[in-house]
Structure 1
Amino acid sequence: MNRLQGLQSRVCTLLLALCWDTVLALPLDCKDESGGSAHCASIPQEKLLDRVIQHAELIYRVSEESCSLFEDMFVPFSMRTVRNQAGSTCITKPFPILASKSEIQQTSDKWLLHSVLLLVQSWIEPLIYLQTTLNHYDNAPDTLINKTKWVSEKLLSLEQGLLVLIRKMLNEGMLMPSVYEPSLLQSDLPPDMLDSILRDYNLLNCFKKDAHKIETFLKLLKCRQSDKLSCLVY
């Protein structure tokens, strides 16, 4: 059984590495040499929205892969069962909870855009923190570490793209990107390693849920630009 699990783990790592190469080939880079967002500002609104959606799709895909890899590597099977039965608690502070799809359908484009921006900004610091905790894990695969780092970097790129998109679609003034201080983040694990593993596992699962929410809201926004009747599926 252990040999089978080892083979499955190696196959999983290989497949994730192949997906990794695909992800890196599709960047969204808004910053110019001066650090501004002039590059994205020159992209037509429709194409910029397409790129932002594509970027969100990739982030969600990598979040799924990272969560599965972390689970396979570190989470005891018994704890996965308990978690799946009880569910996990995810709280996104700046984000209002909507009770149904109908409520989401009734929201404005402005609400969708600003909610997506808030979700993106709310995860920048936690994912930087996660990078520091992974360094304390024994035998943490490079694939997992690299994917976590990639998502952190691409969230910043997605934030830049969203800021330009909001200015284009809503005719709003330039919003400021989020500001964070990585040096202020705590990197020491608590004494109980299992508690830390479950905390990080929950963080990855919660981020995966919000990444899917980001992707869904952006696709709903795109749908509204063409055929509103077909948007009821979101």
Structure 2
Amino acid sequence: FFFPFSGVMLFAISFVAILNSLGHMGDAPKMKLTRVFRNLVPRARHLHHLATAIYKEFERTYVPQEQRHSSKKTAFCYSATIQAPRNKEETLQKSDVELLCFSLIIIQSWINPLKNLSHLITNRHIHVLSNRLLEKLRDLEEGIQVALRVLEKRSDRHMDTYSKFEVILPADGSVMKVPGLLACFRKDAHRVATYLNLVTFRRFA
């Protein structure tokens, strides 16, 4: 006697559950994007901290005290040809996709130089740090690529990136020019962290 009524109730409950699940499906891309960006900013900051650590360790190990100030002077950073924004005003004018693309290009531009740097360094501790730096660089590159894939589905704008950026290290194996290279990388790591932090703030603040 009660079975038909129970069947109707069961159907109604199931129908409501299906509607709720369909509604939550629309939230999935947003949740994925939030998770991606919440991971990106700490990765970028960690990369900058690691770059600072290896710079200081390299300087302490290889550069005499009286030469440390001059070793920090760099006339030209290898990534200077990348037309990325260099001040607050320029950065704020760029879209989220543009800032992600610039971040990716900057990160990719350092992959080969850091590979070469790892081969050049003989100090075991610094060698381990440089390998770790390269690993974190690759990790951040992958994270930015994921974020771009998600965002570019909603944008008709696309910017080319390049995966190779040649940097010629001293042919004689000298390490005295390396501090300038590391100073450039540390500056670029901070720049990428700034871009990613701005994109995250725009979307989730």
TM-score greater than 0.5 by the shorter chain: yes
2:96 is the counterpart of 1:118: no
Alignment partner of 2:148 out of 155, 158, 166: 166
Within 5 Å, give how 1:73-92 maps onto structure 2: 73-84=61-72, 86-92=73-79
Whether the aligned pair in 1 keeps the contact of 2:105 and 2:161 (CA below 8 Å) is no
Correspondence for 1:216 = 194
- Distance change in 2, residues 1:188/1:132 (3 Å): farther
Correspondence for 2:23 = none
Alignment partner of 1:133 out of 120, 127, 131: 120
Runs of at least 4 residues off by over 2 Å: 81-84, 86-89, 97-100, 175-180, 184-189
- Distance change in 2, residues 1:111/1:72 (3 Å): same
2:98 aligned partner, one-letter code: W
Q: Which has the higher contact order (CA 8 A, sep 6+)?
A: 2
Unpaired runs of 5+ residues, structure 1, are: 1-40, 228-234
Within 5 Å, give how 1:7-86 maps onto structure 2: 44-84=32-72, 86=73
Greater CA deviation, 57-66 or 147-156?
A: 147-156
Normalized against structure 2, the TM-score is what? 0.73
Aligned residues: 172
Within 5 Å, give how 1:154-233 maps onto structure 2: 154-171=136-153, 178=163, 190=172, 196-227=174-205
Q: Percent identity?
A: 26
RMSD (Å), alpha carbons:
2.9
Greater CA deviation, 152-161 or 96-105?
A: 96-105
CA distance in 1, matches of 2:55, 2:168: 22
1:169 aligned partner, one-letter code: L
| Local SS of the residue matching 1:225 | helix
**For the pair shown, which has the larger CA radius of gyration, 1 or 2?**
2
| Local SS of the residue matching 1:65 | helix
CA distance in 2, matches of 1:127, 1:198: 16
Correspondence for 1:38 = none
Normalized against structure 1, the TM-score is what? 0.64
